[in-house]
């Protein structure tokens, strides 16, 4: 019944299967109860992080609870959209908490026990908690590439010492034998498998995720360097990471091991097809001179810091993501490594404040900042004041307005909740999840959007719509028309408002239906009129 749970058992285990079944069944009931409660509790705002407090004290095995959430997510058909929406958020949270715990354990190990590949996988998992990413699977793919390198090496030198040893068990001292390994690696990675640096789409976050690097065979300097270094070490060549500015590199010792002379090393550009560089060529690569310190080796923690720093910068650039998920995830990772970094703590506090979520956590962060750096008093005081005001407003919030079609002021509203529409001017497909009898935005928005240039201006119904590109927009009635070929709208928030897609329109969930009690029947009648018998 639950084949995905087999991995948690061994054939040697003596298990009471009846008790395991009962535990899984009860965990399923508990998961369903919590998912159902989330819709009622958090419909009107983003699910705040403090909303997960009851999940952290689960009275059942977490892997059973997660398995039920996966069952909900994998339900067939177009029903259960609201359950799927909240199951996904809960699963995201649970897995991230577990991955963060694993990352902290990883960072506490001795440096020599911190695999660069494992660190890269942990970052990948945290940013993609719903994907099936595990170290064992990634390592198996790397081992497969290593075996291909051995085959090439065997044709060049059948007696090469790395052919006789198991992965990572041999350290090849002779430089010429090491060179043969690197040549074979370059042949396999760049000629046979066609790995390359992603120059055309450099700022795509997928370039930073190691499982995507293996799938797409492209990446940025640091992700390709982690792959290159891992394979080299498995074949007995000790390459070391170099935190070179603007372009991550590896170094290969040509002199005495542990030498502090930067000229005793050849530098390898994994982004540039494994090209071997001198110190001077490294400077040509970035276009300016750098001091000797930038040629030094860095630890696994510093490599992870740079990987997370890249994701942080990408998160700041991604203005289309209204939830700032990548920025939030990368901040979590950075602060797991450096919990007292005032700059990033302040960024996290400002981000939560901007999104209006978790105000109590904002106050905790600000208190921590003040203890670390009293000179931040001005910025901290401003945020504390406005966060306290936000908490007070939240206590005073009244029930949301219920909009009745029968009200005289709503007589001009033509469209209803759940209809699939098309924008006349921009051509995008969307679904209506709210409406106002007239434009309710401020003067600045109306001016910036040039609303007065419309024939009916702001004095016409406006609709909240979820758009197929993942955005949320506010569209004038005169700009919308029925979609002659209605189809599902692939928007991440669709389940927040709708429970089912009928094939022609969406059905509002209970919470949305309370706000627009007369829209469901109107939507059904409209759909019947427009789409029945093939007539429009």
The per-residue pLDDT string of the chain (536 residues; one tens digit each, 9 = 90 and over) reads 788 888 888 888 888 999 999 999 999 999 998 888 887 776 555 555 555 666 666 777 888 999 999 999 988 878 899 999 999 989 998 899 999 999 999 999 999 899 999 999 999 999 999 998 999 999 999 999 999 999 999 999 999 988 886 656 678 889 999 999 999 999 999 999 999 999 999 999 999 999 999 999 999 999 999 999 999 999 999 999 999 999 999 999 988 888 889 999 999 999 999 999 999 999 999 988 889 889 999 999 999 999 999 999 999 887 555 678 899 999 999 999 999 999 999 999 999 888 877 788 899 999 999 999 999 988 899 999 988 888 787 777 667 788 998 899 999 999 999 999 999 999 999 999 999 999 999 999 999 999 999 999 999 999 999 999 988 999 999 999 999 899 999 998 999 999 999 999 999 998 899 899 999 899 998 888 887 655 44
Query: Could you give the domains of the chain?
Result: 3-108 (no CATH), 135-303 (3.10.620), 340-398 (no CATH), 408-532 (2.30.30.390)
Output the pLDDT for position 169: 65
The tokens for 156 are: 């060049």
Which DSSP letter does residue 297 get? B
Q: What is the pLDDT of residue 7?
A: 84
Report pLDDT for 318. Answer: 73
Closest CA to 252 of 275, 273, 271, 220: 275
Question: 151 to each of 146, 156, 185, 467, how far by Cα in Å?
Answer: 9, 9, 10, 51
CB 466, CB 497: distance < 8 Å:
yes
Distance CA 225, CA 251 (A): 10
d(CA 230, CA 225): 8
DSSP per-residue letters across 364-390:
HHHHHHHHH-GGGHHHHHHHHHHHHHH
* Buried residues in 272-298 as b, exposed as e (16+ CB within 10 A): bebeebeeeebeebeeeeeeeeebeee
- CA-to-CA dists, residue 232 to 142, 150, 262, 406, angstroms: 11, 11, 21, 73
Distances (CA, A) of 231 to 122, 145, 185, 244: 19, 8, 8, 21
pTM for the whole structure: 0.87
pLDDT given for residue 536 in this prediction: 42
């Amino acid at each position: 019944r639950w084949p995905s749970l087999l991995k948690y058992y061994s054939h040697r285990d003596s298990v009471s299967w009846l008790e395991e079944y009962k535990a899984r069944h009860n965990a399923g009931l508990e998961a369903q109860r919590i998912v159902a409660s989330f819709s009622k509790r958090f419909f009107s705002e983003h699910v705040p992080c403090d909303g997960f407090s009851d999940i952290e004290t689960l009275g059942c095995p977490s892997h059973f609870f997660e398995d039920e959430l996966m069952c909900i997510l994998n339900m067939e058909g177009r029903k259960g959209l609201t359950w799927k929406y909240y199951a996904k958020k809960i699963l995201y949270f649970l897995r991230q908490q577990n991955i963060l715990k694993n990352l902290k354990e990883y960072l506490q190990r001795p440096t020599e026990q911190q695999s660069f590949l494992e660190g890269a996988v942990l970052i990948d998992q945290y940013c993609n908690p719903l994907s099936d990413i595990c170290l064992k699977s990634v390592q198996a793919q790397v081992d497969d590439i290593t075996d291909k390198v051995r085959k090439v090496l065997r044709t060049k030198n059948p007696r090469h010492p790395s052919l006789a040893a198991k992965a990572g068990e041999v350290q090849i001292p002779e430089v010429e034998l090491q060179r043969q390994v690197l040549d074979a690696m370059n042949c396999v990675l760049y000629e046979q498998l066609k790995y390359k640096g992603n120059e055309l789409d450099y700022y795509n976050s997928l370039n930073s995720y190691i499982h995507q690097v293996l799938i797409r065979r492209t990446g940025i300097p640091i992700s390709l360097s982690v792959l290159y270094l891992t394979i080299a070490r498995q074949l007995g060549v000790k390459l070391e990471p170099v935190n070179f500015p603007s372009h991550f590199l590896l170094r290969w010792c040509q002199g005495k091991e542990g030498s502090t002379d930067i000229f005793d090393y050849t530098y390898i550009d994994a982004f540039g097809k494994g090209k071997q560089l001198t110190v001077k060529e490294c400077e040509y690569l970035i276009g300016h001179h750098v001091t000797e310190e930038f040629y030094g080796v860095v630890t696994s923690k510093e490599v992870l810091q740079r990987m997370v720093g890249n994701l942080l910068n990408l998160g700041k650039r991604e203005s289309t993501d209204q939830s700032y998920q990548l920025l939030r995830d990368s901040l979590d990772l950075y602060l797991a490594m450096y919990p007292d970094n005032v700059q990033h703590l302040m960024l996290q506090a400002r981000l939560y404040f901007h999104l209006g979520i978790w105000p109590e956590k904002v106050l905790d962060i600000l208190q921590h900042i003040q203890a670390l750096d009293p000179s931040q008093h001005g910025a901290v005081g401003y945020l504390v004041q406005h966060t306290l005001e936000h908490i007070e407003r939240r206590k005073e919030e009244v029930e949301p307005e219920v909009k009745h079609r029968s009200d005289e002021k709503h007589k001009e509203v033509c469209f209803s909740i759940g209809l699939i529409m098309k924008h006349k001017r921009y051509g995008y497909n969307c679904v209506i999840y709210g409406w106002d009898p007239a434009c309710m935005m401020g003067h600045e928005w109306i001016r910036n959007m040039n609303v007065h240039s419309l024939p009916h201006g702001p004095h016409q119904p406006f609709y909240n719509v979820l758009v197929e590109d993942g955005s949320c927009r506010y569209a004038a009635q005169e700009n919308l028309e029925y979609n002659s070929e209605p189809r599902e709208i692939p928007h991440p928030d669709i389940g927040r408002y709708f429970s089912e897609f009928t094939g022609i329109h969406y059905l509002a969930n209970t919470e949305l239906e309370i706000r627009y009690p007369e829209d469901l029947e109107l939507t059904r009648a409209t759909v019947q009129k427009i789409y029945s018998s093939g007539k429009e």
